[in-house]
Amino acid sequence: KDDADGGFLRTSVVLPEGRERTYFGWEVAPHGLTELLTRIAREYRPAEMYVTENGSCYDDQVEADGSIDDVKRRDYLVRHLDAVKAARNAGAPVKGYFAWSLLDNFEWSEGYLRRFGIAYVDFKTQQRTLKLSGKWYRDFLGAQR
């Protein structure tokens, strides 16, 4: 028998109404990141911690002027970086944070239907356009020097 999911494990999560979600339907819960990082620090006492592939999927629209004003993704990054800072202030040895993703890309279970990038990719021409979130992240990182 053919496996329509290609062997990927699928789970179902039902969120109460009114919870903030990404376009993918995933809950947006920055406090959960703080709780997870502080718990890992407390229970496992790692020397260093890195947050990798933390990002969000939204239905990005290219405006008439060519800009992509992904305010929700920018706000997601702001809130999750604040959550990392809170965990660091609580003693978690977080040394790095890597936003997912630099570019819109091919997602294994969704193909090109979902966009996670802070830079928009026109999949027909391969032209890249920095989104509002990418501009914010660039400026944020520059201010950390």
pLDDT by residue, tens only, the chain of 145 residues = 566 656 667 777 777 888 999 998 889 999 999 999 999 999 999 999 999 999 999 999 999 999 999 999 999 999 999 999 999 999 999 999 999 999 999 888 888 889 999 999 999 999 999 999 999 999 999 999 8
The residue segments making up the domain with residue 69 are: 30-143
Rounded to a whole number of angstroms, the distance between the first and last alpha carbons of the chain is: 55
How many domains in the chain? 1
* 20 domain-assigned: no
Cα distances (angstroms) measured from residue 62 to each of 36, 109, 128: 35, 24, 12
User: What one-character DSSP code corresponds to residue 15?
Assistant: P
* 23 domain-assigned: no
The Cα 35–Cα 33 span in angstroms is: 5
Contact present, 87 and 145 (Cβ < 8 Å):
no
* 6 domain-assigned: no
Predicted TM-score of the model (pTM): 0.88
Contact present, 34 and 54 (Cβ < 8 Å):
no
* 50 domain-assigned: yes
